[in-house]
Structure 1
Amino acid sequence: MKILVSGGGTGGHIYPAIALIRHLINQDESVECLYIGTENGLESDIVPKEGIPLKTVKISGFKRKVSIENVKTVFRFFNAVSKSKKYIKEFQPDVVIGTGGYVCGPVVYAAAKQNIPTIIHEQNSVPGLTNKFLAKYVTKVAISFPDAASFFPKEKVVMTGNPRASEVVKGDYSKNKNRLIELGLDPTKKTVLVVGGSRGAKPINDAIMSTHDQWKDKDYQCLYVTGDAHYEKVKEQFDLQENDVKNLVYVPYIHDMPAVLNEVDLIVARAGATTLAEITALGLPSILIPSPYVTNNHQEKNARSLEKESAAKVILEKESSPEKLMEEIDLILNNEQTWLSMKKGALRLGKPDASENLERLIYDAIKGGKK
């Protein structure tokens, strides 16, 4: 089987694609993959490191205001469609999959127009412009949140989950047992992981720095991932504190996050689609502080999907404070029934078999051909 995958711009579009490719190759070594992205996107760095062949097209997104740039974007789109057709003709894929981002627009559109089975995967509860545009052309639409279904043609929608969930649940963590010990924490204590993404999130950092002295009296401990951009400032401020707090360990970044997620009891984080796929698959209770700076406010809508199932507590950034955060952590980790209820809610939403679901959808699309 030959599979062509396109998605880019952010890790939220790229990592699910890579997780799916890994799964398909693990199931069948004869599977051939080609990835189409952009030269300027994260995919240009991430995809080659995975040993996946990469081709590129030039494309940009539409501006919200009327501008000459939007005219240029239209021309770039059709040029990218033309180049995608060339790549498709050379590679001869059995199926084409788009995982979001501007780049998958011309690629998936070109494939659909050539009657090649096509699938788009939507990670968020509210889809982006590209997937909304592609929905009327593709064979099937795979979604990760039930709330996303209403944005697409009902007959095309299949709830699969996010392939990143499968990697977190089914990965081999035998080499990373007692990861908490390696990080300087006590594996017998309940642990809250606080993380704001690879670069960190200032409101979350500010809240944790303001609660430094409160951790010493807690029955649980905190692993605080500052993000590379904030680490030196956090270290500088903590070094000024009179007392070293053993219940609080801070690091700039964690490269093996799935291993750590398997060992903690609660996470405080943003509400990106990949993060939520991972924690729901594990049944990990969460306190979510959605970023208000994303398109369509989709992080808050993602977070509310978990809140509806009692899987998460949502604190809006404008309402966040150190006192509020510590209060919520206390309420969850000091009450076993609350924690168990949240764990069950997360598991109800989790899709640990997401990769398998997408694999079946792919083979069904190939078998059935174009809609």
Structure 2
Amino acid sequence: MRVAVTGGGTGGHVFPALEVARYSREKGCEVWYFGSLRGMEAQACLKEGIGFSGFPSRPLYTLKSLKGWLSLAALLRSRARASRALRQWKPDVVFSTGGYSSGPVVSAAQGLGIPTVLHEQNAIPARTTTLFQRRAFAVCTVFEGVSKHLSHANILRTGMPLRREIRSLASGPRERDLIPFILILGGSQGALALNEAALGAALRITDLPAHWLNVAGKGAFESAFLSVEKLGLKDCFEVMSFLDAPSMAAAYSRATLAVCRSGAGTLSELAAYGIPSVTIPYPTSFADHQAANAAEFESFGATQLLPQTGLSPTTLADAVRAWLDNPERSEDAAAVLKRWDRPKATEDIYELLTSAASGASN
């Protein structure tokens, strides 16, 4: 079976697509990644030894502006190039994790009659899912609440295909520190608001012994590190610019609590490890989907949602203390997160790809 994979621009789309690609290759499939020239997928594929074809994609903006029309023209050119590449490689099925780079590929595949399987990561569907769901073989989802926004008849909640380095430690025994371990995640680019609030929160709860690890992002690392030194927190507050997958898995296995944005990948990883959280949704995410993601977790007691407009050192310190002062609340959250998690997401998606490809050949 030949599996074409697409999705990208950011790691939230690329990592799940790569995990399905890796698994498909291990099952004996030929795999090729179709993505954007401006995203991170080309370098990621090179590292994994997966073939890659790139197109000059860009996000689609409103057509009320010149920028929007230029973006649309670029997408149409990319669709034509993707169509030629797909006709040449002849995949049996196309798997898409979304993102602006996937649109031209999915559109071209459906125009050629190639079965497509879409993966919608968030609680509010992205443009690509909304546009292409009707002609897809199936739509895979992560959040339970997204189905009400979709009209496709074949919606399957598979969960998120996490990187195996992350998934592998999730099923094993957790390494617990003697004092609470608080993990701060601002995303790959960091989040200045989280960094500043976390430092202030740590100062306000020094009466409660805890170790803080802030994965601040490469752009914010230096300022966060200098602030720790200036505030005299270096004994309890550690700053890293980035953690690779094995190091992130090790941090998750120690974490008592996470303070983070509410992207689908981050929340899925927290669920795999049963880690409760304080979530500060990224306020300008498309259709406010991060707030919807966090709201689903909040509905079953797995997170405390703290809007960025209400974020301060004091409010964050109060939210952190509320978790640390109530171990039973954390235990209940861990249990419900484990039930929400879908450990076999990658395998289940592969089975769907097999069904889609075999259905087209019959």
The TM-score normalised by the length of structure 2 is 0.92
Deviation at 1:310, TM superposition (A): 0.9
Question: How much does 1:15 deviate?
Answer: 0.8
Q: By how many angstroms is 1:325 displaced?
A: 1.2
Partner AA of 2:321 in structure 1? D
Which deviates the most, 120-129 or 209-218?
Answer: 209-218
Q: CA deviation at 1:270?
A: 0.4
Structure 1 CA distance for aligned equivalents of residues 213 and 223 of structure 2: 17
Q: Does 1:355 align with 2:355?
A: no
Determine the structure 2 residue equivalent to 1:131. Answer: 129
| Paired position in structure 1 for 2:97 | 99
Aligned match for 2:182, one of 169, 184, 192: 192
- Structure 1 residue corresponding to 2:322, chosen from 324, 328, 331: 331
1:230 aligns with 2:199: no
Using the TM superposition, name which of 335-344 and 165-174 deviates more. 165-174
Residues in 1 aligned to 2:90 and 2:310: alpha-carbon distance in whole angstroms: 52
Deviations 1:112-163 (A, max 9, x none): 2222211111111111112211112211111111111122224121111110
Alpha-carbon deviations, 1:60-79, whole Å to 9, x = none? 33322513344344443333
Picking from 141, 144, 147, the partner of 2:142 is: 144
The Cα of 1:169 is off from its aligned counterpart by 2.5
Instruction: Name the counterpart of 1:182.
Output: none
* Aligned-partner Cα distance in 2 for 1:347–1:172: 10
Q: Conserved in 2, the CA contact under 8 Å of 1:213 and 1:245?
A: no
Q: Distance in 1 between matches of 2:170 and 2:201?
A: 35
Distance in 2 separating the partners of 1:339 and 1:214: 21
Task: Write the mapping of 1:1-371 to structure 2, written as runs, cut at 5 A.
Answer: 1-26=1-26, 28=27, 30-164=28-162, 167-170=165-168, 187-241=177-231, 243-244=232-233, 246-255=235-244, 256-369=247-360
* Inter-partner Cα distance in structure 2 for 1:164 and 1:73: 31
Cα displacement (A) at 1:215? 4.9
- State the aligned residue count: 359
Amino acid across the alignment from 2:14: I
Return the offset for 1:247: 2.7
Q: CA deviation at 1:275?
A: 0.4
Cα offset, 1:239, TM superposition: 2.3
SS at match of 1:12: helix
Give the direction of change, closer, same or farther, for the CA distance of 1:220–1:230 in structure 2 (3 Å limit): same
CA distance in 2 between counterparts of 1:245 and 1:167 reads 29
Q: Deviations over 1:294-341 (max 9, x none)?
A: 111111111111111111110000011111111121121221211111
> Against the structure 1 CA distance between its residues 220 and 172, is the aligned structure 2 distance closer, same or farther, given a 3 Å change threshold?
closer
Larger mean CA deviation between 56-65 and 284-293 belongs to 56-65
Cα shift at 1:93: 1.0
Partner of 1:181: none
